[in-house]
Structure 1
Amino acid sequence: MSDMLVAFSLLADIDVSYKTVERLYSDEQVLLVMLNIHALILKKKGVERPNCTGDGTGYSLTIKKHYATEA
């Protein structure tokens, strides 16, 4: 996925940094688009009851729980 960002940056002649991506994640409309894309992908793949997490670890965490304490 990071390769796609580099390709986009080169083709569009737009400098995309980590900070740019970080700002996008704090935009509510971007989060809504990502949620909808995720839902569409799951629907297309026929996944009705996913048993996973967004980061791929399988651990369902909240801000109160830290990765190190769950491992």
Structure 2
Amino acid sequence: MKNRLKEFRVKRGDLTQEELAVKVNVSRQTIIAVEKGKFNPSVKLALKLAKVLNCSVEELFTLEEGDWDDR
């Protein structure tokens, strides 16, 4: 899964990872892991992130070609 979390976070006026983490009630390490693609957020967290960043979940996260093969 590809994400644009960092892009949207920075576009929102240089919102820091820590500030975003506080707003969505997770650790800064979680935000780092999502931005690096090492952690796929729950639906609830994805919705919270989209709300804080004033965008849709689909704008933040997209499936790539190989993601359909996950079982």
Fold match by TM threshold 0.5 = no
Instruction: With the length of structure 2 as denominator, give the TM-score of the two structures.
Output: 0.25
| Structure number with larger C-alpha Rg | 1
Structure showing the higher strand proportion among its residues: 2
Instruction: With the length of structure 1 as denominator, give the TM-score of the two structures.
Output: 0.25
Identify the structure with bigger relative contact order (alpha carbons < 8 Å, sequence gap 6+).
2
